[in-house]
A and B are shown apart, each in its own frame.
Chain A
Amino acid sequence: MASEVSQNHIRVRDLSVRYGSTRVLNNISIDIPDKKITAIIGPSGCGKTTLLKSFNRLIDLQEGVSVSGQVFVDDEDIYDPKTEITHLRKRMGLLSQRPQVLPMSIYENVVYGLRVHGEKSKEKLNAAVERYLKEAHMWHEVKDRLHTSAAKLSIGQQQRLCLARGLAVGPEVILGDEPTSALDPISAEQIEQRFLALKDKYTIVLVTHILRQARRLADYVVFLYLGNLIEHGPAEEVLNNPRYAKTKAYLEGRFIEEPEIEKELDLIKLTFPESLKALEKVFKELKVGQVLRIVSGEKNLQGLIRSPLVAQHTVLEIKKRDALTSEVIMQKNEGGYSI
């Protein structure tokens, strides 16, 4: 797998995360596009933050966490025991929900990461402070009080300082965990402006529960629901023209309902002629509005979805069971499936 050639910094393959016995993420596979803003959306507690923090292995710090699957960053599997975790984290800046400035001066906050990674030259540190505070758009606000405490800054300034601090270690990726949720509207706007200005240089991944923010910023959208990857794709497609019912319900602010499965077909054990017969039979029996679950091998999945048999059905959801099997949940059209 590691030899697979790819342009993308971050590729996730069959990532599952559990906290103790609770499954938080189920078989997520996704490529995060480079130098774009990717927004991870979904209701609270659906695994957005866990997915984000799996990119820099901050989830390692959680109680009883176990991870399976792979996350490749620049073709290196970061869950490989040989991975140097401090180097990985250096490549990703993190903005948390509430800005977390370090208990030191503004200057020391910006150079903290550099010092940790061994930079000692005074000139380089000074230059970095000016450069990254400018990138975070706060140099003019603080240039005369660099040696005062960072804790005294306003919360919006603190978040921009955290951005400068993250940029200073030279990351390729910026991770934002609802970075504007604790901020006032003006500070939030400033942070959003920074993201738009920085996206040519960095790959930005944001967790957000604000749909309007996703619309304003995102080039690419990932929709998670209860630990499952429901839909992902270019922002305008997912946000304006979602393919699956759950995405649609979430975007429209409706309650997301689990469809009631009325029929089920397991194609795994069947071979070609029988499987086709079984499919035809089950589609015939299915009444308008009824929901069918088909369990299928990963290889045959695309063929199945595109087959003419499925044409009069709406695919509600495609769920990955494990690396090799998926579930397709579909509903017979006419009269339409509406929640």
Chain B
Amino acid sequence: MDKRKVEEYIFKVLMLGAVLIVIGSLVFILATILVKGLPTLSWEMITKTPQGGYYMGKGGGILNALLGSLLLGIGATILAAAVALPIVFYLNLYLRRRSRFALAVRFFLDVLWGIPSVVYGAFGFTLMIFFGLQASLLAGMITVALLVLPIMARGMDEVLKMVTFELQEASLALGATRLETAGKVIFRQAFPGILTAVLMAFGRGMSDAAAVLFTAGFTDSLPYSLFKPVATLPLAVFFQLGTPFPEVQSRGYAAALILTAIVFSLSILARLITRGMNKHVIK
């Protein structure tokens, strides 16, 4: 037998195996929450707030957590984008390609990316105590914004790196300033990628439990103030799965199903939106 052919074959099998592990775990997770959560998934769950004794098996729903997570996710994403966009435009347009400062910033972002979310939660908590705040929607938003900032910024950064220098030059040569070039040309060219980075960060921010545990708190009422605690889906899942009652646990899986469905439909939506938006993008 030809040794190189065998090699080729072995590696093909290994790669296929790796692909199967990824697809398999996704399918397995989806199957678990579907099988365990679908029986208790009901209209009531997403339209009502928890009644007294909900976590003991009484009636009600998790509308509070659903709305809370959406609000918190949106707020955190906007905050993070407001910081990430200037960072990445500065890195890619204003600094030279091999600037040491840019290298350092990218390194710090990568380190921040690797920090576990519970550490962000603890950090947010310390800040809250320092400023004398209680667990609230705002505190949760700020903490989650910090958590998703590196993800968003590095995502956008990679997209902006792909925009050619010549395109930038073409705009500058017409007498545009760097800011005009950034806003009118580079942003448009990179928009689909930037949107993907934003939605990726949104999905990540919405589904994190540890960062909001101390900072956003939990409540049975609907979110109505930035300065009051807010319920979130990941914590709703966590609390329900933590009870000894099988039907409440099943509701926990149903809540997980809702969360997954939101993140899933968002990424599909992102693809549809960007498909419409990138007709002018230069390939």
Contacts and interface: CB of A to CB of B under 8 A. Distances in A.
Contact of B280 (A56, A90, A105): A105
A112 B189 CA distance: 15
A162 B170 contact: yes
A98 interface: yes
Nearest to B169: A58
Interface string A85-101: 01111101110101011
B170 A94 contact: yes
Given A58-B169, A87-B175, A89-B175, A150 B97 contact: no
B89 to A, nearest CB: 15
Given A100-B167, A102-B167, A169 B174 contact: yes
Nearest to A97: B166
A18 to B, nearest CB: 15
A103 B282 contact: yes
A116 B189 contact: no
Contact of B171 (A87, A92, A102): A102
Nearest to A112: B174
Interface string B259-282: 000000000000000000001111
Nearest to B190: A103
A187 interface: no
A165 B174 CA distance: 8
Nearest to A102: B185
Nearest to A96: B166
Contacts of B14: none
Interface string B158-202: 000000111111111111110010001100110000000000000
Given A58-B172, A63-B97, A169-B175, A112 B184 contact: yes
B176 A116 contact: yes
B280 A89 contact: no
Contacts of A98: 166
Nearest to B170: A100
Interface in A76-125: 86-90, 92-94, 96, 98, 100-105, 112-113, 116-117
A326 to B, nearest CB: 34
A89 B97 contact: no
Contacts of B171: 102, 112
A151 interface: yes
A173 to B, nearest CB: 11
Nearest to A150: B280
Contacts of B279: 149
A225 B282 CA distance: 35
A1 interface: no
A4 to B, nearest CB: 26
A64 B170 CA distance: 21
B98 interface: yes
Contacts of B173: 56, 58, 89, 92-94, 166
A166 B174 contact: yes
Most buried by B among A56, A86, A150, A165: A86
Contacts of B165: 61
Contacts of A103: 167, 185, 188-189, 280-282
Contacts of A151: 280-283
Contacts of A150: 280
Contacts of A116: 174-177, 180, 184
B96 A89 contact: no
A89 B188 contact: no
A58 B174 CA distance: 11
A165 B173 CA distance: 11
A63 B169 contact: no
Nearest to B283: A151
Most buried by A among B175, B180, B283: B175
B273 to A, nearest CB: 16
Contacts of A93: 173-174
Nearest to A98: B166
Interface in B180-233: 180, 184-185, 188-189
A58 B173 CA distance: 7
A56 B176 CA distance: 12
Interface in A162-217: 162, 165-166, 169
B282 A101 contact: yes
A89 B174 contact: yes
Nearest to A149: B280
Contacts of B180: 116
Interface string A58-72: 100101100000000
A260 B216 CA distance: 79
A62 to B, nearest CB: 9
A61 B174 contact: no
Contacts of B174: 89-90, 93-94, 112-113, 116, 165-166, 169
A91 B98 CA distance: 31
B175 A100 contact: no
A150 B188 CA distance: 13
A112 B175 CA distance: 10
B128 to A, nearest CB: 43
Contacts of A92: 173
A145 B192 CA distance: 24
B102 to A, nearest CB: 12
Contacts of A90: 174-175
Contacts of B189: 103
A129 B164 CA distance: 26
13 contacts: A58-B169, A86-B175, A86-B176, A88-B175, A100-B164, A102-B167, A103-B281, A104-B280, A116-B184, A149-B280, A151-B280, A162-B170, A169-B175
Given A94-B174, A116-B184, 4 more contacts: A93-B173, A103-B189, A166-B174, A169-B175
Give 4 nearest A-B pairs by CB, closest first: A90-B175, A100-B170, A94-B173, A113-B174
